[in-house]
Amino acid sequence: MGFSFSLLLFLASFPVILAQEVAHATISIDGTATVAVIDDNFVCATLDWWPHDKCNYNQCPWGYSSVTNMDLSHPLLSKAIQAFRNLRIRIGGSLQDQVLYDVESLKAPCQPFRKMKGGLFGFSKGCLHMNRWDELNHLFSRTGAIVTFGLNALYGRHQIRKGVWGGAWDSSNARDFINYTVSKGYKIDSWEYGNELSGSGVSASVSAELYGKDLINLKDIVNNLYKNSDLKPALVAPGGFFDKQWYAKLLKVSGSGIVNYVTHHIYNLGAGMDPNLVKKILDPHYLSKVSETFSNLSQTIQQNGPWASAWVGESGGAYNSGGRHVSDTFVNSFWYLDQLGMASRYNTKVYCRQTLVGGNYGLLNTTTLVPNPDYYRQVHKTPFTLLEYALLWHRLMGKGVLAVGSNALPFLRSYAHCSKGRAGITLLLINLSNQTDFIISVQNSMDMRLTVEENISRENSFVRGLKRSVSWVGSRASDEPLYREEYHLTAKDGNLRSQTMVLNGIPLKLTEDENIPNLDPVRLDVSSPLYINPLSISFIVFPNFDAPTCA
């Protein structure tokens, strides 16, 4: 019958923890119902247009990582994408609304971006050659990427007031570009319209009325161009910062079924040069603030566009290319994984990390993708630090998001999902505390309703204050010992600014033949104590957790 029961287990012994606090925490997970559902391919990363001479704070961290010039034949790039077996990639960014597509109808010459006083973001218009677009699509199809492409929403428009753009959108260039893409049989998952033009905009804004009408127009174009195709790409918009009124109006004006996914951008850590970035990342109250945006957006969609759902279309933590030695190091993962958890909890279907490559916030190291073999040989050993977080999430966290209760807030943050592709659940635990080891009891809240919790306690002589630990195991199919799988992630040598991630005590690096290393868990008897160290991140898989909603 697989009737659920709780097991209470004693901690007879465990590693002696010195000079640190030990706290007990109980986490209960409700496996009877999902509170949100994410996409199968939730993890997404962006490719941007920024050229090598995009600089912030006297640094130019983009190198040759632009859509127009990155080395698409670099083996590590392919391997990184392939490792996900379907990584979503969103092509877009600030310069997107200045990109021309080199198709027949383009009357202007196809030239690269160059620095230009008075240009949006300090740059001229740029252009995408179709042979480059071909190469990009070959990479995507070879590696199984799922592509979202952001279209230029300012084409044909002009500035009517400072920062405000008006006039009619000229759809001809986008239409011919999409037509070219269809004629070549390139698979595009979704077309996105515009970048950061919502609300008061970043460099330019467009009113929600105009934007909404453009979307009706664009939907029509897409439907027409794909009418003989099996593919029906989704329409995604507006790829900007959330503004309640603007977003509500956009959904009202465009109307039912036009926008499939409402995208918003998040840079909640502030400017990349802020010396307090690390402090903010480790401050649970700071991290939680952005939940208001998720909550308001979710409400706005429910009220004005229930046919649509939310995506985070771009999120890099710190803006202006990210924080140097922060966004590219271990400490950033506290922010990143917490956001993945929080976004899921608010029913966000997809989360696009700025960037896959480029800036200080790339999942891959920008410089190691420079096609310079000598340099590459020297530095290639650990370029995947940040990618591995995304990978672990992608492999372990399934679609169903579960409610989690914890008595250890705020420093211990917890998120639970149905496991991906197997039974049971996976728990993500983020310990922001720099001095507290947590000993975790995991409970099934369904179980708590079904059975009276047994209650046994015994003092442990090694650690003062330690009372007991409860480990919930789940339905027992046989007398086989039950286990859980643990992935504990820490910074190398305890240095939060390290670019190397340590998994279960082993620093991760590329294998000798330059492949992404295996990310293997340790398997422990489910009745053994579950430790969470200070400043660490853990994925814990409970294959036997009885969660009917995950079946």
Site residues, ligand NAG (CB under 6 A): 61, 176, 179, 183, 242, 244, 282, 292-293, 296, 328, 360, 365-368, 379, 411, 432-436, 452-453, 455, 457
The alpha carbon dihedral of 182, 185, 191, 194 has a sign of negative
Q: Parallel, antiparallel, or unpaired: how do β-strands 501-503 and 397-406 relate?
A: unpaired
Q: What value, to the nearest 5°, has the Cα angle with vertex 116 and ends 115 and 121?
A: 80
CB of 177 to ligand NAG, least distance (A): 10
Shortest distance in whole angstroms from residue 481 CB to ligand NAG: 26
- Cα–Cα distance, 91 to 108 (Å, whole number): 23
**Placement of tokens 């990210």 in the chain:** 322
Tokens of 141: 């199809």
Question: Of the two residues 244 and 476, which places its CB atom closer to ligand NAG in the complex?
Answer: 244
**Minimum CB–partner distance for residue 452 and ligand NAG (Å):** 6
Q: Which of 104, 135, 192, 196 is catalytic?
A: 196
The token duo for 30 is: 């409700």
CB of 437 to ligand NAG, least distance (A): 10
For ligand NAG, the closer CB: 235 or 425 = 235
Closer of 292 and 520 to ligand NAG (Cβ): 292
Please identify which of the residues 21, 104, 292, 314 carries the catalytic annotation. Answer: 314
- To the query of whether residue 314 is one of the catalytic residues in this protein, the response is yes
Supply the minimum distance, in Å, between the C-beta of residue 420 and ligand NAG. Answer: 29
Q: Closer to ligand NAG at the Cβ: 288 or 549? A: 288
Chain centroid offset of residue 271 CA:
19
Distance, in Å, from the CA atom of 318 to the CA atom of 327, rounded to the nearest integer, reads: 8
Of 86 and 296, CB closest to ligand NAG: 296
Q: What's the rounded Cα separation, in Å, for the pair 44 and 147?
A: 9
Residue 113, both tokens: 């971006």
Shortest distance, position 370 Cβ to ligand NAG, whole Å: 10
Q: How far is the CB of 449 from ligand NAG (least distance, A)?
A: 12
Instruction: State the residue for tokens 């995507």.
Output: 140
What does 326-391 look like in DSSP terms, one character per residue?
TTTSTTHHHHHHHHHHHHHHTT--EEEES-SBSSSS-SB-TGGGSS-HHHHHHHTTSTTHHHHHHH
CA–CA distance, 355 with 314 (Å, rounded to integer): 8
Element spanning 300, H or E: helix 291-304
Tell me which residue of 500, 483, 504 sits closest to 492, measured CA to CA. Answer: 500
Select 198 or 365, whichever has its Cβ closest to ligand NAG: 365
Any catalytic annotation for residue 486?
A: no
| 131 vs 478, beta carbon nearer ligand NAG | 131
Supply the DSSP symbol for 309. E
Cβ atoms within 10 Å of 63's Cβ, excluding its own = 22
Cβ-contact 261, 305 below 8 angstroms:
no
Q: Give the nearest distance from C-beta 385 to ligand NAG in angstroms.
A: 9
Q: Is the peptide bond before 306 cis (omega within 30 degrees of 0)?
A: no
Closest separation in Å from C-beta 58 to ligand NAG: 15
Closest to ligand NAG by CB, 454 or 525: 454
Cβ atoms of residues 540 and 501 within 8 Å: no
Taking the least distance from each CB to ligand NAG, the nearer of 93 and 424 is 93
| Contacts of 82-85 spanning 24+ positions with Cβ under 8 A | 82/143, 82/144, 83/387, 83/391, 83/516, 84/41, 84/43, 84/144, 84/390, 84/391, 84/394, 85/144
Tell me how far apart the alpha carbons of residues 155 and 325 are, in angstroms, rounded to a whole number: 37
- One-letter amino acid for residue 67 of the chain: V
**How many alpha carbons lie under 13 Å from residue 375 in its C-beta half-sphere?**
8
Q: How far is the CB of 541 from ligand NAG (least distance, A)?
A: 26
Nearer to ligand NAG by C-beta: 256 or 435? 435
| Two structure tokens written together for 177 | 């570009």
Residue identified by tokens 């080395």 is 71
Distance (Å) of CA 137 to CA 113, 134, 281, 354, 478: 21, 5, 36, 20, 50
Strand partners, 374: none
Nearer to ligand NAG, 73 or 291 (CB): 291
Q: How far is the CB of 82 from ligand NAG (least distance, A)?
A: 21
- Sequence letter at residue 333: S
- 3-state helix vs strand vs coil in the chain, percent to 5: 25, 30, 45
Residues marked as catalytic: 196, 314
